[in-house]
Chain A
Amino acid sequence: AQSVTQLDSQVPVFEEAPVELRCNYSSSVSVYLFWYVQYPNQGLQLLLKYLSGSTLVKGINGFEAEFNKSQTSFHLRKPSVHISDTAEYFCAVSDTSGTYKYIFGTGTRLKVLA
């Protein structure tokens, strides 16, 4: 069985500071990894995904994430955050075949402070 852990439920950070949102996963098979962002009362928007290849993945809005197989991690980073980055961030894993059903983490609320 797969699982996803987002250790930080809330992360406050000042505007223009860097941020890292942590995601660790557990799986006995290969996985695909995803980060999504959710703004209030909206659906989820894909930030980036790791399917294969380079372990450093660049996404939208200046976000990037690095897949670390040995540490089973897929942490999300941004070098300089904006007020508009305030949102809920979800990490997800899926199988690499079949329906690709997601297992979601519990989410991290990023609060950017002025």
Chain B
Amino acid sequence: GAVVSQHPSWVICKSGTSVKIECRSLDFQATTMFWYRQFPKQSLMLMATSNEGSKATYEQGVEKDKFLINHASLTLSTLTVTSAHPEDSSFYICSARPTGEPGYTFGSGTRLTVV
């Protein structure tokens, strides 16, 4: 089945630094990937839609300059949290699907802690 790898699983960074999270589709190509943020005991909040070869589409209220998304190939999307602050601490999850198939596979998530 479709496998999505997300790295790192957890990261601790200092306030003001940037952190990059990778999302890879291992056995399929994905023109579209989604990035979510999840607060404790809450549902997933869609942050942005990552489109291969074009600009990401951000949901309302998500800062484009803080959460930079790059989808340079059909198997890799990255989310960079720039100038991270403690309020950016959260669980970030990506998802992808084989082109033309419904149903998304999710990465294992990244726990970001900003100190």
**Complex: A41 Cα to B41 Cα, angstroms:** 11
Q: In the complex where A46-B103, A51-B102 touch, is A100 in contact with B43 (Cβ < 8 A)?
A: no
Interface segment, one of B12-20, B66-74, B78-86, B107-115: B107-115
Q: Which of A43, A94, A99, A101 has the most CB of B within 10 A?
A: A43
Some 9 contacts from A to B, beta carbons below 8 A apart, are A41-B111, A43-B108, A44-B106, A45-B106, A46-B105, A90-B44, A100-B104, A102-B104, A109-B41
Total count of chain B residues near the partner, CB < 8 A: 23
Q: Which of B42, B97, B104, B109 has the most CB of A within 10 A?
A: B104
The answer to whether B102 and A44 touch across the interface, beta carbons within 8 angstroms, is no
The answer to whether B42 and A106 touch across the interface, beta carbons within 8 angstroms, is yes
**Complex: A51 Cα to B6 Cα, angstroms:** 27
Question: How big is the A interface, by class?
Answer: 20 to 34
Q: Which of A45, A46, A96, A109 has the most CB of B within 10 A?
A: A46
The answer to whether A107 and B106 touch across the interface, beta carbons within 8 angstroms, is no
The answer to whether B43 and A90 touch across the interface, beta carbons within 8 angstroms, is yes
Least CB distance, B39 to chain A, in whole angstroms: 12
Q: In the complex where A41-B109, A42-B108, A42-B109 touch, is A100 in contact with B103 (Cβ < 8 A)?
A: yes
